[in-house]
Amino acid sequence: MRRALITGIAGQDGSYLAEHLVAEGVEVHGTVRPDGRDALWRLAGVQGQLALHPLDLLDGPAVAALVRQISPDECYHLTGTRKPLADAREEAQLLEGALGTTHALLSAVHQVRPRAGFFFAASSEMFGPDAPSPQDEAAPLDPRTIYAIAKAAGMQLVRLYREEKGLRACSGILFNHESPRRGAEFVTRKITMGAACIKLGLVNELRLGDLAARRDWGHARSFASAMRLMVHREQPEDLVLATGQTHCVRDFAEVAFAHLGLDYRQFVVEDPGIPRPSRAGLVGNPARAQAVLGWRDEIPFRRLVEEMTDVDLKRAQTELSARRTNGPPAAGGEG
């Protein structure tokens, strides 16, 4: 039986990838934070079929020891997720993870299983504002944020191990990809949660930043399938994973609210005081991935938004039902 190691298995991408691998009969191992702060709800469907390893990914020797213990046939390094407003400590961890953790994983995999496949989750944010559009694998890198710098450094390490050491290592240059498992701090989930809460009468409005901001939004489930395809190639290469289409925040809101029978214009307030990342509306060119993998994100934008909205409506209904059952907190209770 093939064995796979996924760092960040409890995240959006890791959970979908774990489901793909389990369905294909792979023995799946994943790292989780030792402090127990990972939200394991994303793994509910397969949690009994996984081996989870609490691990500090900034501990290089511990990372190497885990690789030696598992001896994986394929390794997916998915940690280092962008946060809209990361603090200095989180930015430092991004840099340490992209360099130290990625190097520890690559080195250990190369020593233990030199023919193993290795995938690194890079990001479209590595492209600068002057990159030609659409961005493909040849577009110049010009990272302008700590997150983008970290991802660019990690991708260069992967390239080094592929070209100089012969490891079957590759990076996926991931454009925006969403799902019902996306973190609640991202604008896409703010929209679908906001629409659901307004539908149920829990709130009266949704305040958003720049409604004209454009993104190339795909579905995380599709992107996870591409990761496995990339790892299985005998001649690995770095590939752009994207839809090749952009939509603005206004489009996202319009679809989500309309799916619930609402007109977003009656509830959405564009608030210039809400900070938005100062980056261009990047759009990826997935032609190379389609040519060498036979892959494309076949989940339409509308279906993605509607799926997210349906799930958040159910979440909001469950929360509302719990409130009605339990009643308001008792006066004088613990604060």
The count of domains in the chain is 2
110 and 168 belong to one structural domain? yes
β-partners of residue 304 are none
Mean local confidence (pLDDT), 160-181: 97
From CA 198, how far away is CA 262, in angstroms rounded? Answer: 9
63 and 170 belong to one structural domain? yes
139 and 107 belong to one structural domain? yes
28 and 140 belong to one structural domain? yes
- Does a structural domain hold residue 69? yes
- Does a structural domain hold residue 36? yes
| Residue 206 DSSP SS3 | strand
Looking at 15, 74, 107, 123, which residue is catalytic?
123
Tokens of 276: 């938005």
144 and 267 belong to one structural domain? no
What is the predicted pLDDT for the residue at 96? 81
- Does a structural domain hold residue 157? yes
pLDDT > 50? residue 332: no
- Does a structural domain hold residue 287? no
Residue 1's nearest CA partner among 15, 30, 22 is: 22
Summarised one tens digit per residue, pLDDT across range 245-294 is: 999 999 999 999 999 999 999 999 999 888 765 556 789 999 999 999 99
Mean local confidence (pLDDT), 157-183: 97
Looking at 16, 76, 124, 147, which residue is catalytic?
147
Summarised one tens digit per residue, pLDDT across range 42-73 is: 999 998 999 999 999 989 999 999 999 999 99
From CA 126, how far away is CA 154, in angstroms rounded? Answer: 11
170 and 202 belong to one structural domain? no
Summarised one tens digit per residue, pLDDT across range 74-122 is: 999 998 656 555 677 878 877 887 789 999 999 999 999 999 999 999 9
Residue 95's nearest CA partner among 143, 130, 29, 31 is: 143
Q: Are 28 and 228 in contact (CB under 8 A)?
A: no
Count the residues in the chain.
335
What is the predicted pLDDT for the residue at 130? 82
Confidence tier at 334 by pLDDT (50, 70, 90): very low
pLDDT > 60? residue 186: yes
pLDDT > 80? residue 193: yes
158 and 93 belong to one structural domain? yes
Range of the domain at 54: 3-174
- Does a structural domain hold residue 64? yes
249 and 158 belong to one structural domain? no
Looking at 19, 76, 107, 125, which residue is catalytic?
125
Query: Which carries the bigger pLDDT value, residue 17 or residue 185?
Result: 17
Measured from the Cβ of residue 108, the count of other Cβ atoms closer than 10 Å reads: 23
Q: Are 2 and 73 in contact (CB under 8 A)?
A: yes
From CA 149, how far away is CA 153, in angstroms rounded? Answer: 6
| Residue 16 falls in the annotated catalytic set | no
Mean local confidence (pLDDT), 308-322: 92
What is the predicted pLDDT for the residue at 329? 46
What is the enclosing helix (H) or strand (E) of 63? helix 60-70
Mean local confidence (pLDDT), 328-335: 40
pLDDT > 90? residue 37: no
| Residue 24 falls in the annotated catalytic set | no
| Residue 147 falls in the annotated catalytic set | yes
- Does a structural domain hold residue 303? yes
What is the enclosing helix (H) or strand (E) of 44? none
